Amino acid sequence: MRILLIEDNQDLAETILERFKAEGHAIDHEVNGEVANDLLRFSQFELVILDVNLPGKSGFDVLRSLRARNDDTPVLLLTARSEVSDRVTGLDAGADDYLLKPFDFRELLARCRVLARRKSGNAKNEFRIGELAYDSASKRATLAGRDLELRNREVQLFELFLSNLDRVLTKEELADHIYTFDEAPSLNAVEQSLTRLRKKLGGTPFHIKTIRGLGYIAHVDEDI
């Protein structure tokens, strides 16, 4: 999952970044609300974790700007404000969920998984078709009970295709979703990861096909 964290508390931000990277997510970090607002105008993310108190522009203002552009990217607000009126303000501004500081990082990860599932239309963490199963909480894919041992990049690609079944994705789109701004996107590396993923999914109902000149499309053969 490609995530943008907007948080000016450096210690907290570093911990969040560490936890999400360990989970295999591509996560970028910005501390200034004004800069983050501009970034959201030109870059696509699957989830935004947004602090309320920010320099430059408040989290509420960033959120209002995002929704005013009809951008429906899921937003989880982080706030130290426990007053009901502040929580109502955030939800009315377009937040999908909120979490009060201090919080348990397991809950943060769980809430983010819920928002990702809601966005993709899935009601639970597990995807299952035939003998292929994938648990988005543990990042574990199995075939007939055997662990497919997916690497982080392969997990990112698999989740991206799961969220975009029967939709063509270009190689550039794949790179945009699995690399952060601090990393140098490599289309050859994307192709290598995709080749490994296809090999591990061989013999399953989950197929990733190449559409020559356009990109790739994932399809589930429910007849298998």
CATH number of the structural domain spanning residue 28: 3.40.50.2300
Domain, as residue range, for 110: 2-120
Radius of gyration of the chain measured on its C-alpha atoms = 18
| Backbone dihedral angles phi then psi of residue 75, each to the nearest 5 degrees | -125, 125
In a domain, 137, yes or no: no
In a domain, 142, yes or no: no
pLDDT score recorded for residue 120: 66
Same domain, 10 and 74: yes
Same domain, 73 and 168: no
In a domain, 50, yes or no: yes
Same domain, 160 and 75: no
Residues 136 and 7: their CA atoms lie apart, in Å, by 25
In a domain, 145, yes or no: no
Q: pLDDT 10s digit of each residue in the chain, 224 long?
A: 899 999 999 999 999 999 998 888 899 999 999 999 999 998 889 999 999 999 999 999 999 999 999 999 999 999 886 677 778 888 899 999 999 988 999 999 999 988 988 876 665 678 888 889 998 888 889 988 899 999 989 999 999 998 888 899 999 989 988 888 888 778 888 999 999 999 999 888 899 999 988 899 999 887 65
pLDDT score recorded for residue 40: 95
Same domain, 112 and 169: no
Peptide bond into 55 cis (omega under 30): no
Neighbouring residues of 117: CB distance < 8 A, sequence distance ≥ 6: 123, 124, 125, 136
Same domain, 110 and 160: no
| Domain total of the chain | 2
